[in-house]
Amino acid sequence: MPTSRIKELAWQPKIRDVLAYLFYGFGTASPSDGEGAGTAFKGSLFVDYINGVVYKNDGSRTSPTWTPLGGQANTKYHDEEYLRFGDGTATADESVSDRSFYFESAPDANTGGRLVLDCDAESTTLNYVTGLLVDLDDMFTAVGAKKRWGIAIAGDRSSAVMGGDANDMLLKMDYTNYGVNTPAGSYARGLSVQMTNRTTGVLSALQGGFIGVRQRSSGDVASLEGLQIDCKIDSGMGAPSAEISGLRVELNLCANAPAASYGVVVRNLTDGVYTLPTAAFKALNDGTSSCKGFTYGLDLLTAGQRTALCDIRLSSYDSDGVAGMILSGAGTDDTTIKADLVARGITAAHGSVYISVVKTGGLIYQNRNGTWTAF
């Protein structure tokens, strides 16, 4: 039984009446259903100040029903929808009953969503508007071998069998632009990640993203793919005026970079007792019979300047550790080819090939025992 009732306090009449409507009382234990009959209005609150739980009368004045609004209990505020505020104390297994905030609801028949966040039209005068902002500045404070994740999404498919065109996704995003954007310069981006290091300490890696897929059963997976990118222009639609790129990697190194600096790295970690991957890169032409495929299998041309000091470095090297190369340039004999490579800072192993790209004088040269000799 609660130890006191606000309505019984000898306060001024107006203040007392207002508080009596809002608060039925407070005490050291939870109220029982039916308690406060004839006294507690529908919607009145009771505070259990020992356990930190607020209860609301969801029944009537004649038959109160007390529902917890916070603390270590869930709040059922609508059919099959629960909202809970806890004390923020996490147990070792981070059980739901100890989390600071917990929401659960049944799937919505119209949207298919269990939690729907509806952001209405905002002011057009604001420069920045965010539909959902999660501020994690004070979360990453642990010292030592601790793990902190800003947002974690986890899910398992149990025994339910997929079939037909079914698919599971942990994250799905859709955006469609219907605006006439002038002048040019605006852009739409599905996912934007910015990771920044501002300390003199040491990080093993600073990564903008990580995607991992793993086959851990004897079942068949027709295709195991770390990432698939689709870039499509529908038939009859306008083509981009500047460029179409399935994947663009931009390096902007404003400081001295290590010798191992690459735009794309494909690393093979397959144990030698298993079948090795077929190739590091593969290009396919799966268009119709009228599609001729790519114009160039590999394009290293940048108008007005050299794209690479060495066009291709081969996987074989000599006893001195100098790799075989395939190069191109404007050299036309042993002397001018050597001068060209010295200017580039390139040393090519014997057997390397140099393609002289000179109008009316182009030839193929090979480094034969230190002398560039025309074929």
The C-alpha atoms of residue 340 and residue 239 are separated, in whole angstroms, by 40
- 219 occurs within a structural domain: no
> Which residues constitute the domain of residue 320?
298-375
**Is the model more confident about 69 or about 224?**
224
Cβ pair 355, 337 in contact under 8 A: no
pLDDT in tens, 252-276: 888 877 878 889 999 998 887 778 8
Rounded average pLDDT over 108-121:
64
- 336 occurs within a structural domain: yes
Lowest mean pLDDT among 20-24, 92-96, 99-103, 185-189: 92-96
The C-alpha atoms of residue 363 and residue 367 are separated, in whole angstroms, by 13
pTM (predicted TM-score): 0.66
- 364 occurs within a structural domain: yes
Cβ pair 41, 63 in contact under 8 A: no
The C-alpha atoms of residue 151 and residue 172 are separated, in whole angstroms, by 15
Number of domains in the chain: 1
pLDDT in tens, 60-82: 889 999 888 754 445 554 554 55
pLDDT at residue 24, rounded to an integer: 73
Which residue bears the tokens 């993203």? 209
Cβ pair 354, 339 in contact under 8 A: no
pLDDT bracket for residue 289 (50, 70, 90): confident
**Residue 203: how many other CB atoms lie within 10 Å:** 9
**3 has a pLDDT exceeding 80:** no
Lowest mean pLDDT among 112-121, 223-232, 290-299, 317-326: 112-121
Considering the chain, what is the average pLDDT of its residues?
Answer: 81
- 329 occurs within a structural domain: yes
Q: Which amino acid is at 275?
A: T
Cβ pair 105, 80 in contact under 8 A: yes
Half-sphere exposure of 261 (CA within 13 A, CB side): 10
- 328 occurs within a structural domain: yes
Q: Which amino acid is at 32?
A: S
- 322 occurs within a structural domain: yes
**Is the model more confident about 229 or about 108?**
229
The C-alpha atoms of residue 317 and residue 310 are separated, in whole angstroms, by 15
> φ and ψ at 89, to 5 degrees?
-90, 115
Lowest mean pLDDT among 57-66, 123-132, 365-374: 123-132
- 332 occurs within a structural domain: yes
- 27 occurs within a structural domain: no
